[in-house]
Amino acid sequence: MIRLDAIWDQLFPAEQTRIVKLLVEKVIVSPNDLEVRLRANGIERLVLELRPKPVDQPEEALA
């Protein structure tokens, strides 16, 4: 997986928001604590989205 911190500042705010929503389930703030609950499959979903798509080759090129 690419290092997300290396490209984070280059992303549009909407894309940053989408990535955070994929990774974070809930944030709980109390007077003495901050709890961030991550999605169990958040990293997996992000990796699947960032993985390069296979290139479809015409049948002629495969023969």
Are residues 21 and 46 in contact, defined by beta-carbon separation less than 8 angstroms? no
- 63 has a pLDDT exceeding 60: no
Q: Around Cβ 30, how many Cβ atoms within 10 Å?
A: 7
Would you kindly state where each structural domain of the chain is located, as residue ranges? 12-50
- 1 has a pLDDT exceeding 80: no
Supply the pTM of this predicted model: 0.64
List pLDDT tens digits, range 4-52.
Answer: 788 899 999 999 999 999 999 999 999 999 999 999 898 888 888 877 7
